[in-house]
Amino acid sequence: MTAAKPPQENSHPRHDLDDVIHAPVRLSIMAALAAGEQADFRFLKETIEVSDSLLSKHLLALEEAGYVNASKGYEGKRPRTWLSLTDRGREAFTNYMDVLRRIIGNP
């Protein structure tokens, strides 16, 4: 998967949408993570209402793109996976939202 292409002159803004983020589940993940510093896997799964396997699949795509960082740890004796946007991921999400605003004509 590749990140968004640089804007092209005289083309519709939809061409600038980031294909990595554009899938509904990945967009939901990015939006949820952009709202804070980090979130644990279970919270994210419940927030965007997906199964463990579907969340894992989409998180892998976002990690491979360098947009999401996963770190494992413990809360008490319970293992936890904490997720956060990387600087690159936060920038990509901001750019994605800017393109959506251009599409709807609300710069």
Task: Give pLDDT tens digits for 10-58.
Answer: 688 889 999 999 999 999 999 999 999 999 999 999 999 999 999 999 9
Residue 4 clears pLDDT 60, i.e. is over it: no
Q: Is the pLDDT of residue 9 over 70?
A: no
Name the band, by pLDDT with cuts 50, 70 and 90, for residue 88.
very high
CATH number for the domain including 76? 1.10.10.10
With 80 as the cut, is the pLDDT of residue 73 above it?
yes
The whole-model pTM stands at 0.85
**Residue 95, domain member (yes or no):** yes
Determine the Cα–Cα distance for residues 84 and 36; give it in Å rounded to an integer: 8
Query: Domain span at residue 97?
Result: 16-102
Q: Does 4 fall in a domain?
A: no
Domain count, the chain: 1
Beta partners for residue 69, in sequence order:
84
